[in-house]
Chains A and B, each alone.
Chain A
Amino acid sequence: MKYVRKYLIALAAATAVMTIGHAALAEELSIMASGGAWQDAQRKAWFEPFSKETGAKILEQEYLGDLGKVKAMVETGNVPIDLVTVETATVLQGCDAGILERLDYSKIAPRDKFIQGSALDCGVGLDTYGDILAYDPTVLKEAPTSVLDLFDIKKFPGKRAMRKFPAQNLEWALMADGVAPADVYKVLATPEGADRAFKKLDTIKKDIVWWDAGAQPAQLLASKEVVMTTAWNGRIQNAIDTDKKPFKIVWNDQILEYDMISIPKGARNPELAYKYLAYISKPENNAKLASYITYGPVRTDAASFVAADALPKLPNAPDHLKGAYLVADTEFWGDYGEDLVKRFNAWLAQ
């Protein structure tokens, strides 16, 4: 594959020359985020204040969280981005594949100040979000009380939307099949456990509409295409607050996850990227995001900085952790992710 690389490097040379010349002019930080309300919130909470403080210009890019694009950049030696926001499972994948830089936490913040599982070798946590269930009470007369009501076709007939990805769906399927949240990953690690989860999903397969992008669930609810949908809590809250939609969120049996940010190998400006990571990892800054979107901080000492009116809407607000919930197991998805994704795709196609 050496030839491939050489050839691609040659092809990339022209663009590289242009970008290098460009970067020398002003301090620029290019960040790839996954768009929508979440990127807007990051802009207000972090991009703009950081820009003001350091004088660095932030270039925003948008993508849907697929690592293929980043892999292509790293392989061709032309990496026009300095930071990329990713999911936890993607951080592990990218770390093993040598696509993402191993982070030096001495330049960011003490690693033990992060909630467990939110400071990884190749990615720093940005926020805590909840995989929740959302519905429109003007359509659904009876209110669902748990995310697991997804699987109750009799009580809640109609189409439901779920993310086109095995993570979360398999966990919920097992929980709906009677597995306690604490045992979910132990069961899912066995072939019989995976069979059991897919069997449970089979019972609602023909009623599922699949979504890919985080903005889709709110659209699917608004167009009444589905009667309920799984979603990331901030996107739904955003639709309620800014678009005045009558949607409701079901927190019981939610799955808590972290958004991550990483530096791709060969980034143009890693020093500035570290400066940015250190900036957003300060507890007072880490808590700021919650004012613009309802995602909680990842630093254990940031809770006191969260604005009082934002607190009750966060997925890790005390009220929302009273019922059943599950913290997504990063390592499990690092180890079994690839096999389960493959099986999930085969299952979808059948």
Chain B
Amino acid sequence: MSALQPSELDRPTLARDRSAADADLKSVSAALRRAEFGDRLRSLALAAPLLVLLALSFGIPIVLLLSRAVYDPTIADALPKTTKALAGWNGQGLPGDDTLAALATDLKDTKAKGTAYELAKSLNARLPGARSQVLKTVRKLESADGQAALDALKSVPFWSAPATWPAIRSGTHSLTSFYLLSALDLRWNADGGIERVPPEQAIFIQVFLRTFLVAASVTLATLILGFPLAYLIANVPKGLAAILIVAVLLPFWTSILVRTAAWTVLLQKFGLVNDFLLFIGIVSDRLDLMYSRIGLIIAMTHIQLPFTLLPIYSVMRTIPPSQMKAAYSLGARPFTAFRRIYIPQVFPGVMAGCLLTFILCLGYYITPALIGGASDQLISNFIANYVNVELNWEMAAALSFILLVFTLALFGIFARILGLDRLKLV
């Protein structure tokens, strides 16, 4: 563009009447903007059904699910009378009998409302061990009324323990930072400060780091494999390039589950890979490739290769070979020409490919579940576990939220460094 700008072609003419030209330019650009606005409105109207569908089926559910991470009215809903009674409590010692009576009534009601379990679970998350105490008390209260109910409640020492009531009171606020802090292995301590959870409970930071490490290793591996391959495809005759591209794309069109299952067959102890390594004598003993980090990275690299390769290839294709020849003719050595002419032009494609692979790797679920060992489970596996097995959707939402924030931040940083328009995806 810049080489063809009128200012460089015909400077004297342009300088003749600057103000008139400026006025013209303004009206022209205003007209242009008007026309563009109309165009934009029309295309927006065309895309509207899609946007509405996206918002309804994708945006709103995500927001609603993520809101579970900070909005948890379980305790307030299950204990309405206690919540009201606690409003007058000064937080010192134990609350009075009227509060305990309110709690007894509330707990009795949870049985009918079916909220006993949710309450027990929510309280247990704040106060380990509370779950069975709550359910035990609810069972005890089943056939008791009035004074008898109050006595039954008092007979469970849990309700007169000093730690119990502050936990209940903190739970009666519907907005909570509890799950987000837990997702970062943090918690509130008794003095109102934030502290780390004890080491035997701290898992998430470790799992997040592991997820990033695996994603980075896979990204690096796909780059090392993908870059030369892309270069080869971009520089061989057309027929051969087409065959190579199909070879890359064919597995790309196969489902991840099928490819993962195929890798489990290949990688197992008496599988083809081990047979082959043993046959050519590289190893003397069968390797444990399945249920290990190395197997996981091999399978993920295979699955991710096209995502890294295609953006790089699409950029390489546009670089004319004559540029390199020109560099040689000006005296550059091959490496210098490659470093100073080729790399800067390919760079946006490389970054786009790597970013795509890295972000996709953060969300891997099925491959680590099938190929990785117990200590290779990534954050998605934990989210799935909280959703499916433990039914703790608040915790799942909190972990998803942290992952989403990190991914967006990463994308933001890259977009800032490179400029979004330079990121070339396929």
List chain A positions with a Cβ less than 8 A from chain B.
1, 3-4, 7, 11, 66-69, 71, 93, 96-98, 159, 164, 208-210, 212, 223-225, 335-336, 338-339, 341-343, 345-346, 348-350
Residues of B within 8 A of A1 (CB): 68, 71, 73
Residues of B within 8 A of A209 (CB): 290-291, 373
Report Cα–Cα, A73/B373, bound state, in Å.
31
B128 at the binding interface (Cβ < 8 Å): yes
Report Cα–Cα, A7/B61, bound state, in Å.
9
Report Cα–Cα, A159/B120, bound state, in Å.
39
Q: Mark B380-424, 1 if CB is under 8 A from A, else 0.
A: 001001011111000000000000000000000000000000000
Residues of B within 8 A of A224 (CB): 269-270
Report Cα–Cα, A71/B389, bound state, in Å.
10
**Provided the pairs A7-B64, A345-B385 are in contact, do residues A210 and B390 lie with their beta carbons within 8 angstroms?**
no
Closest 9 CB pairs of A and B: A98-B114, A96-B117, A66-B388, A68-B388, A335-B132, A97-B117, A349-B203, A348-B374, A346-B203
A–B complex contacts, Cβ < 8 Å, 29 sampled: A1-B71, A7-B64, A66-B388, A66-B389, A67-B389, A68-B389, A96-B116, A98-B117, A208-B374, A209-B291, A209-B373, A210-B291, A223-B268, A223-B269, A225-B270, A335-B131, A335-B132, A338-B121, A339-B124, A339-B128, A339-B129, A343-B200, A345-B382, A345-B385, A346-B201, A349-B203, A349-B382, A350-B203, A350-B375
Report Cα–Cα, A66/B206, bound state, in Å.
25
A99 to chain B, nearest CB (A): 8
Is B269's CB under 8 angstroms from A350's CB?
no
Taking CB as reference atom, which chain B residue is nearest A90?
A: B389
Is A98's CB under 8 angstroms from B115's CB?
yes
Q: Mark B234-277, 1 if CB is under 8 A from A, else 0.
A: 00000000000000000000000000000000001111000000
Report Cα–Cα, A124/B124, bound state, in Å.
28
Identify which of A4, A97, A208, A339 contacts B64 (C-beta below 8 A): A4
Residues of B within 8 A of A210 (CB): 291, 373-374
Residues of A within 8 A of B129 (CB): 339
Residues of B within 8 A of A164 (CB): 374
B60 at the binding interface (Cβ < 8 Å): yes
Q: Mark B351-394, 1 if CB is under 8 A from A, else 0.
A: 00000000000000000010001110100001001011111000
A35 to chain B, nearest CB (A): 16
Is B391's CB under 8 angstroms from A71's CB?
yes
Is A96's CB under 8 angstroms from B120's CB?
yes
List chain B positions with a Cβ less than 8 A from chain A.
56-57, 60, 64, 68, 71, 73, 114-118, 120-121, 124, 128-129, 131-132, 135, 200-203, 206-207, 268-271, 288, 290-291, 369, 373-375, 377, 382, 385, 387-391
Report Cα–Cα, A274/B206, bound state, in Å.
48
Is B269's CB under 8 angstroms from A67's CB?
no
Residues of B within 8 A of A67 (CB): 388-389, 391
- Which of B64, B268, B291 counts the most chain A CB atoms within 10 A? B291
Residues of B within 8 A of A93 (CB): 117, 391
- Which of A1, A210, A339 counts the most chain B CB atoms within 10 A? A1
B182 to chain A, nearest CB (A): 11
Residues of B within 8 A of A68 (CB): 387-389, 391
Residues of B within 8 A of A341 (CB): 389-390
Residues of B within 8 A of A159 (CB): 288
Additional A-B contact list (11), CB under 8 Å, known A68-B391, A339-B128? A7-B64, A68-B389, A96-B117, A98-B118, A164-B374, A209-B290, A225-B270, A345-B382, A345-B385, A349-B374, A350-B203
Report Cα–Cα, A71/B117, bound state, in Å.
13
Is B388's CB under 8 angstroms from A338's CB?
no
A2 to chain B, nearest CB (A): 9
Report Cα–Cα, A180/B373, bound state, in Å.
32
Is B373's CB under 8 angstroms from A346's CB?
no
Identify which of B131, B377, B388 contacts A348 (C-beta below 8 A): B377
- Which of B115, B135, B269 counts the most chain A CB atoms within 10 A? B269
Report Cα–Cα, A93/B121, bound state, in Å.
10
B289 to chain A, nearest CB (A): 10
Residues of A within 8 A of B117 (CB): 93, 96-98
Is A69's CB under 8 angstroms from B128's CB?
no
- Which of B369, B382, B391 counts the most chain A CB atoms within 10 A? B391
Residues of B within 8 A of A3 (CB): 64
Taking CB as reference atom, which chain B residue is nearest A331?
A: B132
Taking CB as reference atom, which chain B residue is nearest A349?
A: B203
B344 to chain A, nearest CB (A): 42
B305 to chain A, nearest CB (A): 26
Residues of B within 8 A of A349 (CB): 203, 206-207, 374-375, 377, 382
Is A69's CB under 8 angstroms from B391's CB?
no
Residues of A within 8 A of B373 (CB): 209-210
- Which of B132, B206, B271, B387 counts the most chain A CB atoms within 10 A? B132
Report Cα–Cα, A336/B390, bound state, in Å.
13
Taking CB as reference atom, which chain A residue is nearest B200?
A: A346
B400 to chain A, nearest CB (A): 14
Report Cα–Cα, A67/B131, bound state, in Å.
19
Residues of B within 8 A of A212 (CB): 369
Is B60's CB under 8 angstroms from A7's CB?
yes
Report Cα–Cα, A97/B389, bound state, in Å.
13
Taking CB as reference atom, which chain B residue is nearest A75?
A: B393
Report Cα–Cα, A68/B114, bound state, in Å.
17
Residues of A within 8 A of B114 (CB): 97-98
